[in-house]
């Protein structure tokens, strides 16, 4: 990845001697970095240049992430219909969802590709994997066993696209956007993938009818054929959209602008091996990485079984789906708004995270105590459950782009893709561990509710003890001034 340039010559710093700060200055004065960043006006001049085409690049990347999330969550909202149409078992449905986290296993290979070959090659490979995956699901085969295997293979290929669409957002924002637009671009590029997964709750049920279990045998066969036709309509539509996006990125997705937008974008970065050494030896990074990975991993696993958690309090699967949908949508909107605020008031990422996780801790505690209304006597109503769950999702989901920006600032000049790839891998690892425990303790999920406020409180304490620095922004500030 370097600075986003693909050759050794291009990876050399564009700043001549004497134009940047003194060697090590940005790393010796971490407290001064935050103060200088906060004091700098949002409209400070930049030594680089930004191009209008940056918004087209951001749009293509964001749409790719949106569709990847949509394809990943195709089967969950229509699982009952998929069971009748293709004979899926409960294990099949669970595995179709798990192909997403499993697709993160080779994420380090995609990080290496992003580091060595740049953004265009990585995005093209990612979109091509999505074309293959959605195409396999559309092959017309009457053999249901083979059809199910093709669908599983397609979901796995789509899952392999996850590391790029979820990790490369900070790299794209640094490569194309100026310092006062980076957080906003990171939020848009990273949040659209989650929004795509949320929209699957609308697209699937609106197009695919639910099965009618009380219909006669002949009517049931006709209903099964109709459901299968509607599911295939969704699969063909997703395949067409993915092909369109692949054609667009193939036609126009430049690896970098002609001139870098900022000093940080033009500076030299650490190599792939040295980056990992820097990350693993940086206690401050490990602290903030755990503050991100633990609560986000717990929340992802908790969201996956939300309908089972809410069943004892008499909340239907449909209502649980709507709660998940609005929590993700609210998190995307608030996340982009918070990132835009962070661009205007720079040097405040830690404060924003403290506010968000204070709200997340209170919301998760409210939800957990509400579910124990027989002991706490708190009102257990649809309104309180909706409010506590949606607020929890809003606070946690909106923290993702803020975390990404803080990771990059903390370990600069480690490349952005490597940094975010490591923390996202940790988050998926925590989610996988929780899902593993759920396979043994799925009959009693009350303990899972206590994991949420506990993880949010732990993260809040880690953020509170974290000593922030803005090495990348400080470099832009010094050279700009």
Structure-token match 């459950």, residue found: 385
Is 188 in contact with 343 (CB distance < 8 Å)?
no
**What are the residue ranges in the chain where pLDDT is below 70?**
1-47, 212-220, 304-305, 307-308, 316-317, 373-374, 376-377, 432, 435-447, 478-481
Burial class (CB in 10 A: 0-12, 13-18, 19+), 204: buried
> 148: how many CB neighbours lie within 10 A of its CB?
18
Q: Compute the chain's Rg from CA coordinates.
A: 23
Q: Crossing angle of helices 272-281/107-137, nearest 10°?
A: 110
Q: Please state, in angstroms and rounded to a whole number, the distance separating the CA atoms of residues 213 and 251.
A: 48
> 383: how many CB neighbours lie within 10 A of its CB?
8
Q: Which two tokens stand for residue 83?
A: 């069971």
DSSP 444: -
Residue 37: per-residue pLDDT: 45
Q: Please state, in angstroms and rounded to a whole number, the distance separating the CA atoms of residues 68 and 60.
A: 12
Is 479 in contact with 47 (CB distance < 8 Å)?
yes
Q: Domains in the chain, ordered, with CATH?
A: 52-479 (1.20.1250.20)
Structure-token match 């949420």, residue found: 452
Residue 39: per-residue pLDDT: 42
Which sign does the torsion angle of CA 372, 378, 379, 381 carry? negative
Is 32 in contact with 21 (CB distance < 8 Å)?
no
Contacts of 260 (CB under 8 A, 6+ apart): 3, 4, 14, 48, 49, 175, 266
Longest pairwise C-alpha distance within the chain:
83
What separation in angstroms does the CA of 420 have from each of 82, 164, 261, 405? Answer: 35, 10, 21, 9
């Amino acid at each position: 990845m370097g600075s986003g340039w693909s050759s050794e010559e291009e990876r050399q710093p564009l700043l001549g001697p004497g134009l940047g700060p003194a060697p090590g200055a940005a790393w010796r004065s971490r407290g001064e970095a935050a103060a200088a960043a906060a004091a700098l006006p949002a409209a400070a001049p930049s030594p680089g240049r930004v191009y209008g085409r940056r918004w087209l690049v951001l749009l293509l990347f964001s749409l790719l992430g949106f569709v990847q999330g949509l394809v990943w969550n195709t089967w969950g909202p229509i699982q009952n219909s998929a069971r009748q149409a293709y004979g899926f078992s409960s294990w099949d449905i669970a595995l179709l969802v798990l192909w997403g986290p499993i697709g993160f296993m080779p994420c380090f290979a995609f990080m290496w590709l992003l580091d060595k070959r740049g953004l265009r090659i990585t995005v093209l490979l990612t979109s091509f994997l999505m074309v293959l995956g959605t195409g396999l699901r559309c092959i017309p085969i009457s053999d249901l066993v083979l059809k199910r295997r093709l669908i599983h293979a397609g979901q796995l290929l789509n899952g392999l696209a996850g590391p790029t669409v979820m990790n490369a957002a900070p790299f794209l924002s640094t490569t194309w956007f100026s310092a006062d637009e980076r957080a906003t671009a990171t939020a848009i590029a990273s949040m659209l993938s989650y929004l795509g997964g949320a929209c699957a709750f609308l697209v699937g049920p609106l197009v695919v009818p639910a099965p009618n279990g009380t219909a006669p045998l002949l009517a049931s066969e006709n209903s099964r054929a109709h459901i299968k036709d509607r599911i295939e309509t969704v699969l063909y539509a997703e395949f067409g959209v993915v092909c369109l996006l692949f054609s667009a990125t193939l036609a126009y997705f430049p690896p970098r602008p002609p001139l870098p937008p900022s000093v940080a974008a033009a500076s030299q970065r650490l190599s792939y091996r040295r980056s990992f050494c820097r990350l693993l030896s940086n206690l401050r990074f490990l602290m903030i990485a755990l503050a991100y990975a633990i609560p986000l991993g717990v929340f992802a696993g908790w969201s996956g079984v939300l309908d089972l958690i809410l069943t004892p309090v008499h909340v239907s699967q449909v209502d649980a789906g709507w709660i998940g949908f609005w929590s993700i949508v609210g998190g995307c909107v608030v996340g982009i708004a918070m990132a835009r605020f962070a661009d205007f008031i720079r040097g405040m990422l830690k404060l924003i995270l403290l506010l968000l996780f204070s709200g997340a801790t209170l919301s998760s505690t409210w939800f957990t105590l509400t579910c124990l209304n027989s002991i706490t006597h708190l009102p257990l109503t649809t309104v309180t459950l909706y409010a506590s769950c949606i607020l929890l999702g809003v606070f946690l989901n909106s923290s993702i782009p803020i975390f990404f920006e803080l990771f990059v600032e903390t370990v600069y000049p480690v490349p952005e893709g490597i940094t975010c790839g490591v923390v996202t891998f940790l988050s998926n690892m925590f989610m996988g561990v929780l899902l593993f425990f759920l396979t043994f303790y799925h009959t009693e999920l009350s303990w899972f509710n206590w994991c949420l406020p506990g993880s949010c409180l732990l993260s809040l304490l880690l953020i509170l003890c974290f000593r922030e620095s803005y090495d990348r922004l400080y470099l832009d500030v010094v050279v700009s001034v």
